[in-house]
Structure 1
């Protein structure tokens, strides 16, 4: 059983998953989608991850979310903490933040299930 379940998703592909912690990255962080070279790529591509991680505010958000998950884990329920990370399409920002969050939590000894709900769905045309 996982200690933490992390799901990336795109608001443009449907409703947000049910979660204890929801990160909505749509308004506050630069979207790699605007770069035609990155638009059709996903979190599986290093260039996408690099572009997202170089965005001001992303690394502090990851640190804060690790602290938030840790606080939830200290509660008495014992059930998995569910984290949903969303952007418009679920291919770039949310998938990268979810990927990095899962990695950071695993380094702290937590069992993490990571799911990219919409990373392989079609690019949303805007």
Structure 2
């Protein structure tokens, strides 16, 4: 699997970059593997950098002015996007490490702001010495690491049913049995590669595949309704994590695309949801501050002959 191999090598070299959705990416990726949010490429040396870094991690060249904009306005991002990049993958209850001796800490609270007084956002942590501190130090994947992560509020998992018998599925082998909501897209929404042979060897990483899936009549309505289902479960008396599973045949087109779209909606990422035509669905989640994980079980597997 190219993504996993490249990412492992990048992490060993401490050159992976972390997107605001929490996914880590190899330095050669110019968009996030999970949510497709773009980064920026250094004009001096060609290194791909996360937008959270204002200087190139390779040559220290500055981010282009047309991307950076006014620093006081958060790098031309929305406030939510800027804060998400600073918080990174950290969640309340999780344990993390700054990368030097005795720097492990537990997150007690995250105030995403904006706040009237400085700091404009802050994180409350308990250090290895037992002391509670408040600060606004941003997450940097070159330095920071996850020690113990708590479950996300919502996990969206895409799967291909033709891979159900594979031996390398790990914790996602029985995901359908654990699903809170399961969407089966196989019968009602036509497989993109059946529409065009050109799409057969492409995946949801490719814009043309995402456009083809989202332009299928009924898909946006189903995803908007799924967002309402998630809200309903969240309103219930038991605050258990929610797992949403999207299913298609191979897991490379319909399931992966709709999972990406649902992640944007449930995370309240209006800008990203707009690229899927789901702006209004995402607006209902903007104030919830949910942690949302996106998992593609079969996206990067080979095409299944059938």
In the superposition, the TM-score normalised over structure 2's length comes to 0.40
Q: Distance in 2 between matches of 1:13 and 1:41?
A: 17
Q: Deviations over 1:42-88 (max 9, x none)?
A: 11110100000000000000100000011011112212111110000
Contact in 2 for aligned 1:16/1:84 (Cα 8 Å): no
Which of residues 293, 296, 302 is equivalent to 1:113? 293
Q: Distance in 2 between matches of 1:9 and 1:117?
A: 5
Secondary structure of 2:293's aligned partner? strand
Q: Which has the higher relative contact order, 1 or 2, with Cα contacts under 8 A spaced 6 or more apart?
A: 1
In structure 2, the gaps of 5 or more residues are 1-150, 165-172, 269-284
Residue 231 of structure 2 is matched in structure 1 by: 70
Structure 1 pair 16/23, CA: closer, same or farther in 2 (3 Å)?
A: farther
Q: Distance in 1 between matches of 2:249 and 2:232?
A: 28
Residue 25 of structure 1 is matched in structure 2 by: 185
In structure 1, the gaps of 5 or more residues are none
Secondary structure of 1:37's aligned partner? helix
Structure with bigger gyration radius = 2
Q: Distance in 2 between matches of 1:77 and 1:33?
A: 41
Contact in 2 for aligned 1:16/1:86 (Cα 8 Å): no
**Shift >6 Å, 4+ stretches:** none
Q: CA RMSD in A?
A: 1.2
Residue 156 of structure 2 is matched in structure 1 by: 6
